[in-house]
A and B are shown apart, each in its own frame.
Chain A
Amino acid sequence: MIRLDNVSFTYDEDEFPAVDDVSLTIEEGSFVVLIGHNGSGKSTLAKLLNALLIPTEGDVWVEEMNTKNEEYTWDIRKNVGMVFQNPDNQLVATVVEEEVAFGPENLGIDPAEIELRVTDALEQVGMSEYRHRPPHMLSGGQKQRIAIAGVLAMQPNMIVFDESTAMLDPQGRNEVLEAIENLKEKGMTILLITHFMEEATVADRVLVMDKGKVVMDAPPVEIFSRVEELREYQMEIPQVIELAHELREQGISLSEDILEREELVEELCPLL
């Protein structure tokens, strides 16, 4: 569980806070999607969760450990794994298995145990057959799956995906989203940061950030019913939801919880 109490963060060179007085709790086992346009402060918020940044005001608590206390820094990072945006810039090693082993090696885990964890983590992201390959020969989606395996091998309680799908082609994005959903099914706590709205539809809860503040916090169905509000925060509305919204405005009665194309099709067909 992660708790933020009135957290603010201002970069040294900036005048205005990048994260401005945010309070929220992320429950164990939940799947939270954080959306917001560029510069809304979502990546800064992510870095506050694993002590890469320390709040200038307020406190971040990870399993009752305050990120301000340097004694806990490594325990916190072991607890909250993070997958970054650029697949090329977060891989350290020249062979896939060494890459996955990097985290546990840093934790000082016994080689025999690391071996087991590497095998298990690669299995979970479906990359076992690439174990002895050099990572630079893989596709973007595969590199990100390796990065996920690298985090899994540390056995965290929670994984933060900091726009991990932003630089991938559609196929790579699907691969990574599929891996994320698999983790969710296994009960992993997930915070997915993205600016693709359609990735929010599968979440338990959606947070919208704007100018450093969390401005919306609700289940996806409710978030997507507030189309006008989302537009105000410069969010791009997924086509299906936009179409349903326009139809409703024209007086066609559609239920409020349409998120996927199939759902819209099912509602529309009887009307024809």
Chain B
Amino acid sequence: MLRDITVGQYYPADSLLHRLDPRTKLIATMVFIIIIFMVKTPLQYAALGLFVLLSIYLSKVPVRYMIRGLRSILFILIFAFVINLFFTPGTPIFQLWRIRITYEGLRLASMMLIRLVFLIMGTSLMTLTSSPIQLTDGIEKLLSVFKRVGFPAHEVAMMMSIALRFIPTLLEETDKIMKAQMARGADFESGRLLKRAKALVPLLVPLFIASFKRADDLASAMEARCYRGGKGRTRLHELRYAKRDVVVFLVLIVYFGGVFLLGRL
């Protein structure tokens, strides 16, 4: 159950998107998200859809991978669609007793659905094509602009990468403790929500305590290897913008600018 999480996974391949600097991808994704919520006309959506499809093609990530990522948020998608469909006031096009679907509702609901799908596809494309290390390095570099005002960019990036490093370890441990408790008759699966939540307590307590021990050990190990924060630290793979990053930036400015202008037609 715990191993099915696909959001945030890395799909190793050799493609244009994989080779891009993570900073380029982070910035592009952010701009893309903003644009998603700014566009209004169907033509603009079509243009963004084309953009997503082209990106998936260029990333060499199999389409079924992308769809699997959508499946995990299927509930949220349906929920957002239904809420918007039934609860938007306007001209009714269908009415059965107190359930009413309006033209505005249908429009808003489909727009929301498309936006969410684009949002998930865009962001998962970023994580699928960049390794966790590249991402945290990129975030560190981007955030280091704020170092002057005292923002701990290196520390935040280090915390993120350690968190990522320990996710599989902690999942493994959770699994082990669960099995140990189940062997002694613990029941995690039946009963009402409250009962199930209560059943998790004997799972979370040992996990929590073990995490402190781990943190302590890790701190010693890092200190023993001369870790003393980001100052004076070098990297095995320094991030460097390449020509393709410049090209991609230019293409994006033109494309997104075009999408923006489409709305004014």
Contact = CB atoms under 8 A, between A and B. Distances in A.
Contact of A106 (B133, B233, B237): B233
B189 interface: no
Between B226, B232, B234, the greatest number of chain A beta carbons within 10 A of the residue's beta carbon is seen for B226
24 contacts: A52-B220, A52-B224, A77-B225, A81-B224, A81-B225, A82-B221, A88-B169, A88-B214, A90-B221, A92-B218, A94-B131, A94-B132, A94-B133, A97-B236, A103-B225, A105-B235, A108-B232, A108-B234, A109-B234, A110-B234, A111-B234, A111-B237, A111-B238, A136-B169
Interface of A: 47, 50, 52, 74, 77-78, 81-82, 84, 86, 88-95, 97-98, 101-111, 114-115, 118, 134, 136, 150-151, 154
A108 B233 contact: yes
A50 B224 contact: yes
What are the 10 closest A-B residue pairs judged by CB atoms, nearest first?
A89-B217, A90-B221, A101-B236, A103-B225, A106-B226, A136-B168, A82-B224, A108-B232, A89-B214, A114-B236
Main secondary structure of the interface of B (DSSP, over half): helix
A190 B193 CA distance: 55
Interface string B34-76: 0000000000000000000000000000000000000000000
Interface residues of B, number: 30
Contacts of B161: 92-94
Nearest to B235: A105
Interface of B: 131-133, 161-162, 164-165, 168-169, 172, 213-214, 217-218, 220-228, 232-238
A188 B5 CA distance: 45
A50 B220 CA distance: 11
Contacts of B232: 108
A52 B223 contact: yes
B118 to A, nearest CB: 28
Contacts of A98: 133, 236
Contact of B133 (A88, A93, A104): A93
Given A84-B220, A111-B237, A154-B225, 11 more contacts: A52-B223, A74-B226, A84-B221, A88-B214, A95-B133, A98-B133, A102-B222, A107-B226, A111-B234, A114-B234, A136-B168
